[in-house]
Copies of this chain bind each other. A is one copy, B any other.
Amino acid sequence: MLLTAVQLFNEKGFNATSLDDVAARLNITKPIIYRHFSNKDQILFECVRMGLDQVREATAAVAGSPGTGLDRLAALLHRYAEIMTMDFGICVIRTRDHELRPESRSRFRKLKTEIDATICEIIEEGIADGSIDARNVRLTAFAATCTLDGIARWNDPAGPNSPEEIADFFVNFILRGIAPRLSSWTA
């Protein structure tokens, strides 16, 4: 049910999608939707949370893994880029703060802030072990996530490159910008 809803939100926009549209595509009646969700706003928040949970799982998986800070950052950005080509990830990026109700909005912001903080921590670890060369941790994390978020915002799934190719290209693009000269990432 969430997957159908998120696909419709991504295609038509949240405002232009009605619960009738969702019910019609699922071939069910609207009361069945109301057994699970109290309204369309709750469905949107659950879709956004699914996408953010995917990113949080990726950060958790990477946080304790071996290797350099740059290795961990590369693994995390790669998974992040892949999520940006998928339905729930796309919904996270295409949903704007003011589309969520105030209480959902503050939960949404809190989850995103936690993800940003973890990315900053990994960059700091990379600076400490010499694998990352960044002058401003906050802006580096910001620029990296802006780049990947753009995939969810603009990528045309019908375009010539596969999600895997796009993820590879974008991650390499970012890492070339922050790895020290002459490392394997910049070769």
Binding site for B on A (CB under 8 A): 12-13, 15-16, 94, 96, 98-99, 136, 138-140, 142-143, 145-151, 153-154, 160-161, 166, 169-170, 173-174, 176-178, 181-182, 186
Contacts and interface: CB of A to CB of B under 8 A. Distances in A.
Contacts of A139: 161, 166, 169-170, 173
B154 A150 contact: no
In the assembly, how many copies of this chain are there?
A: 2
8 contacts: A16-B98, A136-B169, A142-B150, A145-B150, A146-B148, A173-B177, A176-B176, A181-B181
Contacts of A136: 169
Nearest to A16: B98
Contact of A149 (B94, B99, B138, B146): B146
A151 B146 contact: yes
